[in-house]
Chains A and B, each alone.
Chain A
């Protein structure tokens, strides 16, 4: 059933709409990896079973991830003519109750609801789908509207437009949300050059982290003589704590495929590759399913949408190295060689995969293409700031209240990210620093809380956009230890090809380890500074070029902490074991024996109702006593 006419597309849209907004109750479970990890599978099974038992007239469907990880598993309930209500932190028990209440028409458990949706706005077409009738019942109105919910209020969802809304394995639902309109427009109404111009006009920048202008990149590849040409989707998302690419692939794989077809048409390529981390089995599965469906519907493969354009996509599973996310390393890996970067120039646009002109873009970049093409570059520019148009997705993790994915316009301030969307720091502790851009990003201090987040500002501040990881740290964090932690990661993930990255990250790690162990020497900070700068400017690829960022930024903003470690042999964050000691405040200790029982090395002595004491040389500084003490009597210095 290939779509070759507008009518065919319309039919598919209508069919998708019927399953998106069915005439009976629809219960949707967010089933991306994040949801499944927090138990969505069991919730889903319970729902199906209970709906069957209660003979409820309802469909239970799966969707991807909306990004509000803190509240997973999420369940949406959509009854005809009523707003969509989203419940968070569902358990199988709660799910069964939900079905029972639905079947007994007792009304929904609104106290567990997080937000409600009165209308869906289809981003591509701008069309609004009203879900709720004019006057919904009272209970519904008590639930916060999604656009007023603090987590979503400041978000603008272009890349994640369909995530969590549609069934990722249904091309009709994708089409119902405006999918393949842009491709239709591109193939039927536009020339490859026009498409390229539109992307240039939009000023879209590579969302993989480097921020190179996508339109420029396409143009270089398009104008490069040589056949065949390849387009690649880089989905080798390896940053710890970053999962937006995974989420997009699991929740809305068609958006990436559509973007790739448009890009390939503009560049003149007939073969694409999606290089996905092998650690993303669900993303791979959904991608493969999406490719099969797209081929079946004629939106991929031969004669796409009835045109003469042919484009095929192959999914390649990653080889398991962080550095394979670097574009030349990725190409080497697809070719079957050792995944290590090679010297540029020549750039991939000149000599890429199999020595042919190749264009590589990140998942989020590809997902941004379709809306730009359909709505035009000038529409896209309206979001974000000058030079940094559009939105990007951050994975907000660490010590914030709301962990999750948030798509925001570029230029948003860190404060808005952390305190509005993130909901502030957990346990009301003080905000100390935020690390952006994955393991190779920098740590920005509290003084930069009002920094607008865009490519240039972050780079100037010594960090980077990177793939969009954002790790928030509170006052109990040792910045030297944080730098050491990230260096541990990068030195382990360095491919080892070039000396500065291989030997240099190792050396930085050795020195940082020595500092955190209290063996730092005077001059270590200066030595680190020079070493880090040299590594940054002499490394072969981006991994080595950015690996020193955590060191450089902490040296820049938290120099006093280095001094404290090196000179005073003191860890202000009270993290570095060798530099802290545990003791018990005899004033506060009531002698409850809790810590004494917990201590694994029997370093705590004392008896009931007598203040305890810690024997210094026996203490291994595990912190167990601190965790169990209810009287704040354990002192760490």
Chain B
């Protein structure tokens, strides 16, 4: 440990730490431009200068690289430092007058605009972050400096398209000025495909280490192992330099844990309908055709546009078409109604109208607004002059027939109330997609021994009497895995499922069916016919004895195995052959 003074404050630091590290630890602000924690200090920009005094006298050094020493006096804002910093930032400002970061620094130092005589128009301050990150972190070296002095610039070797660039984009990421030269197209000659945020429905990119969404539980970052340079190529590892808690562990592996539980609630949710399956609606063909979920992210104030409704080119739409029943009530996709689309479409229509004042056209088959207060909201929207056109949309196209349609999207739809086919030009199309069972629901269903409807939704034991239970004891369902429903319904069902589970736990034991099956060992031939037939997996094969065995706790007394047993070894309590015969006799005795 060494003791030193920074701006008259005595601080303790570890040997080998730089002045900047220590200052930051004690929240003493020192501006930097060419410093990046994950790579070694460079000392190029000279903005982080501080004045130090030690036995060699007083002088200016770069805090990013200068190691602390016992008894050192450091001044981060002395007159000498400020004068030097002003001169340096003024020089940079003349070089890059339009760069925001430099403008901010200049403002911090009360610098005026640069002398027009010396004004240049660069967007690169030559801090070398990009080139160093490329070599030091990524081990690539696709870009470097070319020329020297004022002619220095960042480029690829021989200014040719790089064939070693891995298109990680780290250079552009660390660039403090957003320099044009780092657009990957200039470096690799190919347009890079950014990693798109799943939560933001692809409306913005995300890094390969990220918190999936603001409310994620646990609210912690995850590493996208398919795209992480560290995990894929053994390079980079920048994130670990930034994590104060030293929580980043690249050696972590996926692990499977066995948990013993008494009850399980399945709430695996739904999958949004893939709108590109309906080709005529133009999703993924026309950039301004969005799904309702994308608009949902857009209207969110923490979303990719900060709550603004924007077209891809940044304009605000002047008219928006909302197409209902995309992937619902349609024989070619899903025949059922997804229940939620009408209401959320109304909500989006309201929000878009409120934020942009755009003309809004809803194309619907029927308006389904059966909840409490829902109809009122529908009426309110009609008063807000949102247009409702009853009819199915035939197609979305950019093929203009009039001047008005030029450069816009045209929704062609039948207006069944007027009995005409209409063409409505809009700037933005919103497809109100329906709900579908999760693509892996079949596997989940089999794992938990739960039945499903013909559409693939999990089946409850009884629609009225046991709406959250399944045919398997201890397995409950809640939410849209059971069928399309809105949030209030989902919450209600989740509460019910939780209550069922609590009742089970509270009781402390499980009531068994009295009519379980049993095996007469002497009669069983070990043919295994019964085993695959048991829907509750209560039967197994006892290899030692060479016969089938039954777990009576699992048996529901359905009798399937009893009926199938060729040797009559399987019998069912309350329903053995003798008892049935007796019952038959009893019934027939009245005849």
Binding site for B on A (CB under 8 A): 321, 323, 338, 340, 342-343, 345, 491-500, 502-507, 510, 514, 530-531, 534-535, 537-540
Contact = CB atoms under 8 A, between A and B. Distances in A.
18 contacts: A323-B148, A345-B67, A493-B148, A496-B126, A497-B42, A498-B44, A498-B46, A500-B87, A500-B88, A502-B152, A503-B92, A514-B117, A534-B84, A535-B87, A537-B84, A538-B60, A538-B87, A538-B88
Interface in B1-56: 41-47, 49
Interface in B138-195: 144-145, 147-152
B65 interface: yes
A72 B44 CA distance: 46
A321 B144 CA distance: 17
B159 to A, nearest CB: 15
Interface of A: prevailing SS = helix
A514 B62 CA distance: 32
Given A493-B148, A498-B45, A537 B87 contact: no
B87 A343 contact: no
A534 B88 contact: yes
B247 to A, nearest CB: 30
A530 B46 CA distance: 16
Contacts of A493: 148-149
A492 B152 CA distance: 10
Interface in B83-135: 83-84, 87-88, 91-92, 94-95, 117-118, 125-126, 128
Nearest to B146: A338
Contacts of B88: 499-500, 503-504, 534, 538
A186 B60 CA distance: 42
A499 B46 contact: yes
B225 interface: no
Contacts of B66: 345
A516 to B, nearest CB: 15
A503 B91 contact: yes
A343 B65 contact: yes
A222 to B, nearest CB: 22
Interface of B: 41-47, 49, 59-60, 62, 65-67, 83-84, 87-88, 91-92, 94-95, 117-118, 125-126, 128, 144-145, 147-152
Given A498-B43, A540-B46, A506 B149 contact: yes
Contacts of B92: 499, 503
A540 B84 contact: no
Given A343-B41, A503-B91, A496 B145 contact: yes
A338 B59 CA distance: 28
Contacts of A539: 46
B207 to A, nearest CB: 29
B152 A500 contact: no
A82 B310 CA distance: 100
A539 B62 CA distance: 10
Given A492-B149, A502-B149, A534-B87, A343 B95 contact: no
B41 A531 contact: no
Given A495-B148, A498-B43, A498-B46, A504 B83 contact: no
Contacts of A530: 83, 87
B101 to A, nearest CB: 14
Contacts of B117: 510, 514
Contacts of B148: 321, 323, 340, 493-496
A500 B144 CA distance: 21
B35 to A, nearest CB: 12
A500 B60 contact: no
B44 A500 contact: no
B44 A510 contact: no
Nearest to B83: A534
Contacts of B151: 496
A321 B146 CA distance: 13
Contacts of B125: 499
A436 to B, nearest CB: 24
B44 A507 contact: no
B306 to A, nearest CB: 34
A539 B145 CA distance: 19
B127 to A, nearest CB: 9
Nearest to A506: B150
B118 A510 contact: yes
